[in-house]
Structure 1
Amino acid sequence: MREKSLVIVFDSGVGGLSVFDELARKGFAAKAIYAADTAFLPYGLRSEAELKQRVPALFSVLEKRFAPQLFVMACNTASTVALNETRKAVKTPIVGTVPAIKPAASLTRTGVIGFLGTPGTVEREYSDGLIAEFAGDRSVLRFGSSRLVALAERKMAGEAVSPEAIETALAPLFALEHADRMDVAVLACTHFPLLRPEIEAASPAGLKWIDSGEAIARRAGGLLQLEEGGGALEPVAAYVTGNADAAMRPALQARGFETVEKISL
Structure 2
Amino acid sequence: MFDSGVGGLTVLGELRKLLPDAPVIYAADMAGLPYGAKSEAEVAARVAGLLGRMAERYQPRLICIACNTASTIALGMVRDVLATPIVGTVPAIKPAAAMTRTGVFGLLGTEATMRQKYVDDLEHEFAVGKRLLRHGTNGLVPLAEAKLRGESVRVEDVAEAAKGLVLQLHGREIDTIVLACTHFPLLEDELRAAFGKEIAFVHGAEGIARRIASLTEGQTFARTGPDRAVTTGELADFERLAKAFESHGITRLERF
TM-score where L is the length of structure 1: 0.90
**Is contact 1:33–1:235 with CA below 8 Å preserved after alignment?**
no
The 5-angstrom pairing of residues 84-123 of structure 1 reads 84-123=76-115
Long gaps (5+) in structure 2: none
Counterpart of 2:245? 252
Cα drift, residue 138 of structure 1: 1.3
Cα drift, residue 27 of structure 1: 4.2
Deviation string 1:203-246 (CA, Å, 9 cap, x unpaired) is 1232101000000000000000069xx999x9611111111214
1:169/1:235 Cα in 2 relative to 1: closer, same or farther (>3 Å)? farther
SS of 2:2's equivalent in the other structure is strand
* Structure 2 Cα separation of the partners of residues 205 and 199 of structure 1: 9
Of 142-151 and 194-203, more deviation after overlay is shown by: 194-203
Counterpart of 1:185? 177
Deviation string 1:158-207 (CA, Å, 9 cap, x unpaired) is 10111221222222212111111111110000000111112112212321
* Structure 1 Cα separation of the partners of residues 194 and 4 of structure 2: 26
Counterpart of 2:35? 43
* Structure 1 Cα separation of the partners of residues 218 and 187 of structure 2: 29
* Structure 1 Cα separation of the partners of residues 101 and 156 of structure 2: 29
SS of 2:36's equivalent in the other structure is helix
TM-score where L is the length of structure 2: 0.93
Cα drift, residue 25 of structure 1: 2.2
Counterpart of 1:222? 214
Is structure 2 residue 232 aligned with structure 1 residue 241? yes
Hey, which bits of structure 1, 4+ residues long, moved more than 4 A? none
1:60/1:74 Cα in 2 relative to 1: closer, same or farther (>3 Å)? same
* Structure 2 Cα separation of the partners of residues 247 and 147 of structure 1: 20
Give the alignment partner of residue 160 of structure 1, picking from 143, 147, 152: 152
Cα drift, residue 247 of structure 1: 3.7
In terms of fraction of residues, the more strand-rich structure is 1
| RMSD over equivalenced CA pairs, Å | 1.9
Of 86-95 and 11-20, more deviation after overlay is shown by: 86-95
Of 169-178 and 89-98, more deviation after overlay is shown by: 169-178
**Is contact 2:61–2:85 with CA below 8 Å preserved after alignment?**
yes
Counterpart of 2:58? 66
- The code of the aligned residue for 2:229 comes to A
Deviation string 1:79-124 (CA, Å, 9 cap, x unpaired) is 0000011112211100000100011111111110100000111122
SS of 1:88's equivalent in the other structure is helix
Aligned residues: 252
- The code of the aligned residue for 1:261 comes to E
- The code of the aligned residue for 1:88 comes to D
SS of 1:140's equivalent in the other structure is strand
SS of 2:251's equivalent in the other structure is coil
- The code of the aligned residue for 2:252 comes to T
Aligned sequence identity (%): 46
Is structure 2 residue 254 aligned with structure 1 residue 261? yes
* Structure 1 Cα separation of the partners of residues 218 and 88 of structure 2: 18
* Structure 2 Cα separation of the partners of residues 136 and 47 of structure 1: 29
SS of 1:197's equivalent in the other structure is helix
* Structure 2 Cα separation of the partners of residues 231 and 191 of structure 1: 29
* Structure 1 Cα separation of the partners of residues 146 and 29 of structure 2: 17
1:226/1:74 Cα in 2 relative to 1: closer, same or farther (>3 Å)? farther
